[in-house]
Amino acid sequence: MSENTNISADVPDRPEKKRKKAAVAAITSIEDSYTGIGASRGIAIGTSYAFEKEQFEHENKSLEDKEIDNEIERFLGALHRSEKELKKIERVTTRKLGKSYANLFEAQIMLLHDPVLTETITARIRKERKAASIIIDEEFGRYLEQFINSDDQFFQERACDFRDIKERIIRNLHIRKLHSWIPEGTIVISEHLSPADVILLSRSNVKGFVTDTGGKTSHISLICKSLNIPMIVGLGNLSQQVKTGSQIIIDGSTGIVVINPAEKTLLRYLKKRDEELRYEADAFRTAEQPAYTKCGVRISFYSNIDFKEELEGLQASGSEGVGLFRTENLFIDGTKVPSESEQYNYYREMAETLKPLPLVVRLFDIGGDKLLYSPVREPNPNLGWRGIRILIDVPEILESQLRAVLRANTSGNIHILLPMISSLEEIVFIKNSLEKLCGEITSETGTTCEKPFIGAMIEVPAAVEMIEEITSAVDFISIGTNDLTQYTLAVDRNNVIVQDLFDKFHPAIIRQLHRVISTAQKNRCMVSICGDMGSDGLALPFLLGCGLRKFSVVSGDIAKLKKTVSRFTLEETEALAAECLRLGSAAKIKGCLENFQAAR
């Protein structure tokens, strides 16, 4: 099929009916559909482009004496060319998304300048007389194996960075041009993509991305959300089945990919896409206004953020503050713990920028594999030494972070959120630590230390069982639905083999949410939700019906959620919640929620 018949081609001066008619006429093959993980919302309709990175065969021969110096020069030259590329990508990223995402590439540039890495590879080339590409592959491979096998999602992100740097250096060893321009307006399908790939390919007005691997909170997913490009991840081996030129539809909200859509399927998605675009445009016009239900009850929306640079766009998005700041992104090179002074400066700047709006700082939610001096090799960080357990066991990390927060809280708008709480003892330990450190800081400065509100993440079943005691012991709770679903259903949310079992509408999850929210209200404990479920418009009326009034979500979702809230009365949502709680399957619950929305 020629490029001129691309079903995604939207010609501004062509009437809608003619555009749809032409699109339908292009459909000739049998429809096939797949379901992955929706990582960035939106519907894209177009022609597929199979993006593959060039693979290089290693020259497996022993170098002659006269070849060794030349091979080292080739290696150093590849480092220089790789740095030039990354600086260019950094500039493009800054222009498109701002400084926060550009920092991803600054970290990669720093790695290229790592003297230990350079000296190790150079020494091995001299000693072992192997080609530079082999040594690079082996050196990076040692780290990649640890990162890829980690169950910690943050550490898996580092695997993507290391793979990208390795492939970049090896390609530059062969002096091959960077593959960054593709046909305009296509939908990219690939086994995996790096943040650099997404940034550069987006210059070709890419309509969407589909990858075999990846997660909803990966860097590439966050970048696509910021660029408003639909993305679906976790498709297994779809990239091996779909070639360039196939007609394709992707729905980033549901995770559905349709190859060679039938006429009725295409018409349905064209209609759905147009409706969503109109709805979003209407929502963003009123984004900065307060959100109220149809019956006049105030609902608050806050932002989940990873970098301080994201604060700049908070007001325009309609956000009322930061409901979750993931501090683990402050880890230098993914493993080195930031110092107290580094943290203090960071938190202080954020708090001053936001005041009087709140800044909820979640303490480091890390796994043991992030610590360079970790005494254990974690077989399963998700169920092992992580979160609050590390903070309690390694007091120098905990105290450094708590002191930084306490010192930065001069405006009184910083709140502390404790990750992975499963017992009262953990909360008591943190409270005692805060009391001690407050006394120390007061003595050092001669001024009274402002104590922050303390909150607990509700993300493991044990916390749900202890919710009565927990909500009596803290000032607020935040429900992390991603981990709560994972731990309750015993399903790894990043495992594509069992991803179809990861269902936030499972009756067990629905009942847990109702129990947690109602108990918090009874005990006058503030409650919010910070997991992906809070951004789901389908789940929104159920959560309102359970009594939830505070949501912390991705900033880009706030406008639409505010618009959705205005469609319901609390009486309607309470009846809906009661009905859902009586149902015994996820399918029935989703059907009930869909019928509720359709009727309004």
Q: Domain of residue 449: give its range.
A: 293-598
Answer yes or no: do 507 and 530 share one domain: yes
Answer yes or no: do 453 and 537 share one domain: yes
Burial of 515 (0-12, 13-18, 19+ CB in 10 A): middle
Does some domain include residue 84?
yes
Does some domain include residue 14?
no
CA-based Rg of the chain, rounded to a whole angstrom? 25
Does some domain include residue 1?
no
The domain boundary, picked from 118, 141, 173, lies at: 173
Confirm whether residue 482 is marked as ligand binding.
yes
Confirm whether residue 483 is marked as ligand binding.
yes
- Is 530 known to be catalytic? yes
Please tell me the distance from the alpha carbon of residue 234 to that of residue 494, in angstroms, as a whole number.
Answer: 8
The domain boundary, picked from 173, 203, 224, lies at: 173
Answer yes or no: do 397 and 520 share one domain: yes
For residue range 438-449, list pLDDT tens digits in order.
Answer: 999 999 988 888
Answer yes or no: do 402 and 546 share one domain: yes
- Is 219 known to be catalytic? yes
Answer yes or no: do 184 and 169 share one domain: no
Answer yes or no: do 319 and 438 share one domain: yes
> What pLDDT is attached to residue 372?
45
Query: Could you tell me which residues come within 8 angstroms of residue 473 by beta carbon, excluding any fewer than 6 positions away?
Result: 424, 427, 428, 456
Write down the catalytic residue from 160, 192, 219, 415.
219
Enter the tokens of residue 517. Answer: 């929210």
Confirm whether residue 600 is marked as ligand binding.
no
Does some domain include residue 2?
no
Per the listing, tokens 């929706």 go with: 38
Q: Please state the domain count of the chain.
A: 3
Answer yes or no: do 128 and 206 share one domain: no
Does some domain include residue 284?
no
Does some domain include residue 555?
yes
Answer yes or no: do 168 and 189 share one domain: no
Does some domain include residue 248?
yes
Taking every pair of C-alpha atoms in the chain, what is the biggest distance, in angstroms? 83
Enter the tokens of residue 297. Answer: 């009850």
β-pairing verdict for 231-233 and 37-40? antiparallel
CA atoms within 13 Å, Cβ hemisphere of 486: 17
CATH number of domain containing 253: 3.50.30.10
> What pLDDT is attached to residue 60?
79
Answer yes or no: do 496 and 474 share one domain: yes
Enter the pTM of the model. 0.74
CATH number of domain containing 167: 1.10.274.10
Does some domain include residue 196?
yes
Confirm whether residue 432 is marked as ligand binding.
no
Answer yes or no: do 469 and 353 share one domain: yes
Answer yes or no: do 445 and 321 share one domain: yes
H-helix or E-strand containing 301? strand 298-305
Confirm whether residue 362 is marked as ligand binding.
yes
Rounded-to-10 torsion of CA 550, 554, 555, 559: -70
Confirm whether residue 163 is marked as ligand binding.
no
Answer yes or no: do 147 and 186 share one domain: no
Residues of the chain with pLDDT under 70: 1-29, 146-158, 217, 332-335, 367-384, 493-499
Write down the catalytic residue from 224, 525, 530, 580.
530
> Which of 394, 387, 441, 444 minimizes the C-alpha distance to 418?
387
The domain boundary, picked from 214, 246, 261, lies at: 261
The residues that bridge with 32 in the sheet, in sequence order, are 259
